[in-house]
Amino acid sequence: MLSDRILELRRQRGWSQEELAERMEVSRQAVSKWESGQTAPELDKTLELSRIFEVTTDYLLKEDGEAPVLTADKPLPSGRIISLSQAKEYLGIRKRASYKIAVATFLCILSVIPVIILSVASEEPYRLVTEKMAAAAGLSCIFVLVAASVGLYVHTGFESSPYEFLEKEPYELERQAYWHVRSEQSQFRSKYAVFNIVATCLEVLSPLPLIIGAFSGDGLTVVITLAVTCLTVDVGVFLYIIAGVKWESMQRLLREGDYSPKEKGSELRRGISSVYWLSAAALYLGVSLVTDAWESTWIIWPVAGVLFAALSCILNLVIGKKEK
């Protein structure tokens, strides 16, 4: 009964376990054990709880104790309480979303590879296909793969929609939910680091096949190595997304990193980043299709990467000043 009263009163005041522990001058673990019924506060701490919550000891200790009356300075919690089952469900949704988003992005990048190979295969001296056949097949691949990607993105959005409130409303994790998410994050931390290291190495090494192919002097070989370069970049992006989406889902629930209440500009940064890279992809496809120079338009990507680093620095300065 006492454990239920403490948990109920803390939520009514809108305090976190850390805040109550600070007021009581005890550890957060002590508050957690009180609320779970593992231990009971000593008499002096029970009296202190009565004083802090402004209730009688009878209300804390007796089932039929008179309920306190909330006043203006003791508001009901303004945010939602996320249970253990909800936290597990959200993490499960985002885990599935990580694969769907990664596959969708993989297909988007992959869609240009058939166009690259077919465009060269239709030229002299190969003439493996006609120019019209190459154009028709290449464009068909782009539309089919991009359509599949869009379908995956939309399906992911619908599946995640029940938890859109996490971006708009204040919330608090229940004790069991908090420790479950923290445990999941701890277990995934090493895998997250490995995925990012491998992905970074693939991105750095991705131009190597193209450099080797450039010395062959054969147009088809150059294009094939360019396709290998694109595929290597694609795999790196795939790993980045799988690890990133899972990690961010835990950070969002725990309100850490970019999702900390102090990071007010994080949503703006992510929005600008998404628009930037989508624009870069559209520019790459547009220029490549118009000029038919797939063997050289890949230079757009490293240039976009350098410009994005400069843009990130500018955003950090501008948003940082506004937050101050």
Do 149 and 237 have their domain in common? Answer: yes
- Residue 47, domain CATH: 1.10.260.40
Tokens 């054990």 correspond to what residue? 33
Do 276 and 172 have their domain in common? Answer: no
Q: What is the DSSP letter of 81?
A: E
Sorted by sequence, the CB contacts under 8 Å of residue 185 that are 6+ apart come out as: 247, 250, 251, 254
Give the CA diameter of the chain. 94
Do 198 and 170 have their domain in common? Answer: yes
Confirm whether 67 is domain-assigned: no
Do 40 and 117 have their domain in common? Answer: no
How far is residue 278's CA from residue 271's CA, in Å, rounded to a whole number?
11
Sorted by sequence, the CB contacts under 8 Å of residue 298 that are 6+ apart come out as: 210, 226, 229, 230, 284
**Tally of structural domains, the chain:** 3
Q: Which of 93, 181, 109, 185 is nearest to 148 (CA)?
A: 109
Look at residue 77 in the predicted model and tell me its pLDDT.
44
In the chain, alpha helices (H): 2-13, 17-24, 28-36, 43-53, 57-61, 84-110, 112-121, 131-160, 165-168, 175-205, 208-214, 219-254, 266-291, 294-297, 300-323
Which amino acid belongs to residue 11?
A: R
Distance of CA 101 to the CA centre of its chain: 10
Q: Dihedral of CA 129/133/139/140: which sign?
A: negative
Taking only the tens place, the pLDDT of each residue in 193-236 is 999 999 888 888 888 887 787 676 666 777 788 788 888 888 88
Tokens 């970019």 correspond to what residue? 258
Q: Which of 184, 191, 192, 197 is nearest to 250 (CA)?
A: 184
Sorted by sequence, the CB contacts under 8 Å of residue 274 that are 6+ apart come out as: none
Q: Are the C-beta atoms of residues 166 and 252 closer than 8 Å to each other? A: yes
Do 231 and 279 have their domain in common? Answer: no
Confirm whether 76 is domain-assigned: no
Predicted TM-score (pTM) of this structure: 0.61
Coil, helix or strand for 105?
helix
Do 151 and 289 have their domain in common? Answer: no
Which amino acid belongs to residue 41?
A: P
Do 244 and 269 have their domain in common? Answer: no
Q: Which of 205, 113, 104 is nearest to 151 (CA)?
A: 104
Tokens 């957060």 correspond to what residue? 28
Domain boundary among 61, 90, 108: 61
Do 124 and 226 have their domain in common? Answer: yes
Q: Which of 37, 12, 40 is nearest to 26 (CA)?
A: 40
Do 272 and 243 have their domain in common? Answer: no
Q: Which domain holds residue 42?
A: 2-61
Residue 230 burial (C-beta neighbours within 10 Å; 0-12, 13-18, 19+): buried
How far is residue 91's CA from residue 101's CA, in Å, rounded to a whole number?
15
Do 162 and 90 have their domain in common? Answer: yes
Do 97 and 239 have their domain in common? Answer: yes
pLDDT in tens, the chain (324 residues): 678 888 888 887 777 888 788 778 888 888 888 888 888 888 888 888 887 777 777 777 776 655 554 443 444 444 578 888 889 999 999 999 999 999 998 888 888 788 777 777 777 666 677 778 877 888 888 889 889 988 998 999 899 888 888 887 788 887 778 888 888 998 899 999 999 999 888 888 888 887 787 676 666 777 788 788 888 888 888 998 999 999 999 998 988 877 765 544 555 565 666 667 667 766 776 777 677 666 567 677 667 766 776 676 676 666 555 444
Beta-bridge mates of residue 171: 80
Do 249 and 278 have their domain in common? Answer: no
